[in-house]
Amino acid sequence: MSFAGKVWRLLVGIKDGLSLIFLLLFFSLLFAILSARPNPGQVREGALLLELDGYIVEERSKIDPIEALLSREAPVGEYQARDLVRALDAAASDERIKAVVLDLSRFLGGGQVHLQAVGEALARVRAADKPVLSFAVGYGDSAMMLAAHSSEIWVDPMGGAIIAGPGGNRLYYADLLDKLGVNARIYRVGAYKSAVEPFSRTSMSEESRQNYAELYGALWEEWQANVKKARPAANIDMATSDPAGWVEASGGNLAEAAREAGLVDQLGSWAEFGAQVAEIAGEDPWNKAPGNFASTDLGPWLTDIGRERSGKAIGVITVAGEIVDGDEGPGRAGGARIAELLDEALDDDLAALVVRVDSPGGSVFASEEIRRAILRHKAAGIPVAVSMGNLAASGGYWVSTPADRIFAQPETITGSIGVFAILPTFEGTAAKLGITTDGFKTTPLSGQPDFVGGLTPEVDAILQASAENTYAQFIGLVAESRNFSRDRAETLAQGRVWDGGTARQLGLVDQFGGLEDALAWAASQAELGEGEWHPRFLGSSSSNYDSLIRQLLTGGDAEGRDSADLFAMAARQQSGLFGKLASDLRRIIDAQGVQAYCLECPGQFGRRSLANDTLVSIIAN
């Protein structure tokens, strides 16, 4: 019996060992598949096909493949603007690429700075005598801004084009909070810091309305100027001054209305569009299905063209998304992560440093971590430039203050130098429910913050003083870095948001230009000529498994095109509304303390600062 037991235990051990080996092999194979880079051998003569099924962003978010598979939700596509520009510039001079094709049917948009940069790269392709053709079921503002740079714009006869322009309504919760008995305690510095208004008012203040009118007016003028320059035939006034009359004149046919206004050139299905492209780029030898043509996708193309590595390195650190404490990101600007990347690069003998900022702000502690790390590079004697993308507001401006020179675009949104805090307490709610509080206190801070019994006057005073102190520090950084008096900095602050053109006139930025301009300036300051330097993006890595995850979660159906009629657009707007509700709820429930959040910024889309770290965290968001 003892011998049989030993044999049995041996067999079980062998079985467990084999199972472990097979599991290790399985996960090793899975990791290899997920980590596989696009094969440059997939590049072939024909068109460069840019199927932009998602957003154009500054920095692609990190994707956890296991989490994505378990959630069974495909990650939203993200395309780095610099990758698209690099791909298009290479296509302009590569004989294998006969044309560039934009499939914008599932394009979700991007900031105006990114759209303009990609649009200028499309214009360089056309300047190289290569056609650019665009197709979509429906065009919105962002898709139209890209497509305007095309040689031909196609739209599905069942689709159309609608130009809405920036702006819209916000949600206000003051009455709701009053009915619930929630006391949204607000600590505010800055007359224009309207981020608190949804929780304290039932409508927009006149100061906020003035700021919005100036900001959105400037962005709208820039959008129109860019589209008209790229596409003189576009009659934007026809599509926007009386949109109902414009559509009714075409019998409710949005596609015909778009053609009548010069927004599109051709009406046709994807199959008809593909046949037209095939005449230019050649037929697909492997797939004869309607709509196919010889093409190369973005991933293999980027792998094939590689990156320039000659000469000295100019470091580029990206501060994209909300600035938060800790190691979060990419896609969110974790202060500790970015500071660590900068400190590791101190040993890399960089010729210069460019800080690329595309952020509405975030934690002041994290912003200060990043600022100090930038200053350590500056102390090493290298030039430091800041290149602002779509947003460099609040904490985004905080991290920009060490720069020797600040570059921005007319469409850049910056400023928002002001702070606030929202701390909800529920003494009113408790009273409605018949709940009371009582106890013994040794000091005015005992048991504080008391979210049910309420805050003491001393705590209120401490929180307001903390907000004012943070604001004073912010003003001091701006005054010192911009060589302003404190009075001058105070005048430009107050939480007011500026477009890039106005910010340049006011001295908050130095000159217009994109990332390439900032790099060229940094190279000149480092006394490096053309071909003697290359950019090194610190900490950047591509999400090689993104397309595979998408295919697994969508069943490999990459050819379907979403509906883009008015009802589909309304449904997508409704989804965005629920996201906004959730975001606002998180903002007041999280109660993260003193903030300088740029809610005026379109598309917007911790360690503690006090000895008692339960009281408040400083956020410049």
- pLDDT at residue 595 above 80? no
Band of residue 35 on the pLDDT scale cut at 50, 70, 90: very low
Domain locations along the chain = 42-163+231-305
Signed CA dihedral, 213, 219, 225, 231: sign only: negative
Q: What residues are paired with 125 via a beta bridge?
A: none
- pLDDT at residue 419 above 50? yes
Structure confidence by residue, pLDDT tens digits, 339-388? 999 999 998 999 999 999 999 988 888 999 999 999 999 999 999 999 99
Model pLDDT, residue 605: 43
Strands 533-537, 312-320: pairing is parallel
- pLDDT at residue 216 above 70? yes
Percent of the chain with pLDDT over 70: 79
- pLDDT at residue 103 above 70? yes
The residue that leads in pLDDT, 34 or 491, is 491
- pLDDT at residue 547 above 70? no
Band of residue 211 on the pLDDT scale cut at 50, 70, 90: confident
To the nearest 10°, the Cα dihedral for 499, 149, 103, 44?
-120
Model pLDDT, residue 2: 63
Model pLDDT, residue 621: 41
Task: List all residues 6 or more positions away from 204 whose beta carbon is below 8 Å from its beta carbon.
Answer: 170, 194, 197, 212
Band of residue 466 on the pLDDT scale cut at 50, 70, 90: confident
Structure confidence by residue, pLDDT tens digits, 152-187? 999 999 999 999 999 888 889 889 989 999 988 888
Rounded CA separation 379/393 (Å): 25
- 210 CB neighbour count, 10 Å cutoff: 13
Structure tokens at 537: 């993006």
Structure confidence by residue, pLDDT tens digits, 387-407? 999 999 999 999 999 999 999
- From the centroid of its chain, how far is CA 196? 23
DSSP 249: T
Tell me if residue 481 is catalytic. Answer: no
Check: CB of residue 320 under 8 Å from CB of residue 57: yes
Band of residue 494 on the pLDDT scale cut at 50, 70, 90: confident
- CA separation, residue 591 to residues 140, 148, 314, 585 (Å): 36, 44, 40, 10
Band of residue 329 on the pLDDT scale cut at 50, 70, 90: confident
Band of residue 284 on the pLDDT scale cut at 50, 70, 90: confident
In DSSP notation, 298-313 reads: HHHHHHHH-----SEE
The residue that leads in pLDDT, 193 or 219, is 219
- pLDDT at residue 592 above 70? no
- pLDDT at residue 584 above 80? no
- pLDDT at residue 18 above 70? yes
- pLDDT at residue 33 above 60? no
Model pLDDT, residue 287: 81
- Where does 42-163+231-305 sit in CATH, by number? 3.90.226.10
Q: What is the mean pLDDT of residues 79-91?
A: 96
Band of residue 278 on the pLDDT scale cut at 50, 70, 90: very high
Tell me if residue 387 is catalytic. Answer: no
- pLDDT at residue 290 above 80? yes
Look at 428-437, 494-503, 547-556 and tell me which has the smallest mean pLDDT: 547-556
Model pLDDT, residue 613: 31
Report the half-sphere exposure of 142 (CA within 13 A, side-chain side). Answer: 21
Band of residue 450 on the pLDDT scale cut at 50, 70, 90: confident
Structure tokens at 289: 């299905």
DSSP 60: P
61-97: buried (b, 16+ CB within 10 Å) or exposed (e) per residue?
Answer: bebebeebeeeeebbebbbbbbbbbbbbbbbbebeeb
Check: CB of residue 94 under 8 Å from CB of residue 87: no
Task: Indicate the average pLDDT of the chain.
Answer: 84
Structure tokens at 443: 């000091």
The residue that leads in pLDDT, 40 or 313, is 313
The residue that leads in pLDDT, 73 or 248, is 248
Model pLDDT, residue 65: 66
What predicted TM-score, i.e. pTM, was given to this entire model? 0.84
By C-alpha distance, which of 298, 276, 282 is closest to 90?
298
What Rg do the C-alpha atoms of the chain give, in angstroms? 27
Model pLDDT, residue 200: 86
Band of residue 34 on the pLDDT scale cut at 50, 70, 90: very low
- pLDDT at residue 619 above 50? no
Model pLDDT, residue 616: 34
Q: What residues are paired with 619 via a beta bridge?
A: 363
Given 394, 400, 481, 617, which residue is catalytic?
394
User: Quick one: how many helices (H) and strands (E) in the chain?
Assistant: 23, 24
Which amino acid appears at position 413 of this protein? I
Model pLDDT, residue 38: 47
In DSSP notation, 490-527 reads: HHH-TT-EEEHHHHHHHTSS-EE--HHHHHHHHHHHTT
Q: Where does residue 8 rank: exposed (0-12), middle (13-18), buried (19+ CB within 10 A)? A: exposed
Strands 152-161, 132-139: pairing is parallel
- Helix axes 298-305 and 81-93, enclosed angle (nearest 10): 70
Rounded CA separation 184/426 (Å): 9
Phi-psi region of 483 (alpha: psi -120 to 50; beta: other; left: phi over 0): left
Given 150, 193, 359, 363, which residue is catalytic?
193
570-602: buried (b, 16+ CB within 10 Å) or exposed (e) per residue?
Answer: eeeeeeeeeeeeeebeebbeebbbbbbbbbbbb
